[in-house]
Every structure is written in structure tokens, then in C-alpha cells.
Structure 1
Amino acid sequence: MRMNISVPDELAEQVRARDLPISSICQDALRKAVDLAEKKERIMSDMQAVIERLRDTRDEERQRHTDEGRELGILWAKGYATADELRKVAEGDGMDYEAGVGSSAGIAEFYAEVENNYDEKYQEEHNDAFVVGAREVWEAVKDSL
């Protein structure tokens, strides 16, 4: 197949002055361009699968922090909280939890003592789940207090 290409006059003069094989140079450049385009197409065709896989890892990470928050809420409620602190956290709007409750068995001190993988990126999920865990313990014991 025959194709016509346009090049600036100065470039055409430089190519002619050096007696360069225009046809083979253009063919090589076009092969490289086609090869690159095909690689991009292959990459983009699996991109949806990559996006879904990456979203799943984000969701798994979020769930891990949620589960850890709940477990820590239960642990705090069972072993560290006073009855009043537990009631405040379980019956409150979450502000008591975020304020650390404020006594010697407060939440801030609790976190200083236990190992956790707290990540601020998932702070809201973690905090909400902590309150859920504490609330579960409160609901189980409140009528016995």
C-alpha cells in the first residue's frame, strides 16, 4: 500500500542531504507506534478488572478496621470501662467516645495500653464500630447493674 506523508521542508532537506531510506524509516516508526497502541489497548482492556480488584482491597481494609474497632470496643467495655463510662459511650451520640470519656480507665489510656492497627483513613469506621462493640456489652449487662 502506498501512503503519502507530509514533513516540514527543513526536515525533508535534511533527509535528502543524508540520503536516508525514508520508506524503511517510516515503516519502522509506524510499526513501533502500532505496537505501542496495541500494548495500551491490552492494558486498558484489563483495567476494569484491576479497578475492581483494587476496590475489593480497599473494602477489605475498611472491614478489617471496622472489625478491629468493634473488638476493641468490647475489650474496653469488659476490662477497662467503669459502669458510668460504658453507659455514656453506649447511650451517647459518640461524642463521649471521641472525647476519651476522661477518667483513669478512659479510652485514650486504653488505646495507649493495647496494640491496634488504627489508621486515620478509616477513623470513622473504627470509631463507629468501637461504640457498637461497647454498646453490645452494655446491652448485655445494663439490667444486672
Structure 2
Amino acid sequence: MSYQISFESSPSQQDTQVLCDGISTHAQKMKGLQVIDFFAFFIRDAQGKIQGGCNGDNLYGCLYIGQLWVAELLRGQGYGTKLMQAAEQYAKERNCNFMTVNTMDWEALGFYQKLGFEIEFERHGFAKNSVFYFLRKNLITQEKSKPSPEA
């Protein structure tokens, strides 16, 4: 049997899901971890058109925010904060230990920091001296994460 590697610039969601399913199956087999769970929250206008939202995945106890966007018309009105609060509530309901998000230095670093996210690390070397920040917000307290005296 022969195999070939092919490039696709805009792969279908169905095709990329095959990759995710393979990773999830391996994680279940190796560590008994749950399947990666995808989510999204949307802001829709009266006609149902998306005016903003956030999405990501629940990855083994971490809620990762992959994208957050609010239409220019709605910015500065608290919608981004409401989306992030909805995602945090969802993370807590799913028993996530922490949340993560990425941003560039010219995007929303201060916004995420105001929501309690802290810089976990940063990566340099992007075009035009841009800096890519990896942020984290812990959802469980130290007290919850400590083993009980009876254990």
C-alpha cells in the first residue's frame, strides 16, 4: 500500500475532525481521558446574523478559548466580557481546572488580564516584532486542589 502527503489550504471541518477523533481515541486508550469537547457562544442580531462570539474546546480539564471576536459596532459595550464570562461558567460546569487563551501584543492582552488571566509565557519572532502571549486563568483554588487529610 502506498501513502501520499497532500496539502490543503482550507481543509473541510469533516476532514480535520478525523485528526481530532484520532487524538481523542489515543488519549482515551493511553490515559482514559474524555473526548475533546467543542463549544461556541454567539451574539446574534434580530435577523440571526452573527455579530460576535467565542469558541474553543474542553481539552482534558482545560477550557481553551480559540477565538473571540465582537463586531466593531458592538465593541466597548461589554459583549466580549459577557462572552468570556459565559465561557468561564461553562468551564466550571464541565469541571475544568483552568482556562487558556492566546493573543498578540496588538490585540487584547489588557482585556484578558482584566478578566483575571495571567501571562503563562510569551513567544517572540513574529512579523513586525509582534509578540504572541499565552494566558491562563486558574479555576480551582489551591484548597480544592490539595488532597484531603483522610486521603
Band of TM-score, shorter chain: under 0.3
Point out the structure with max Rg over C-alpha.
1
Structure with bigger strand share is: 2
Give the TM-score, by structure 2 length: 0.23
Higher RCO by CA contacts (8 Å cutoff, separation 6 or greater): 1
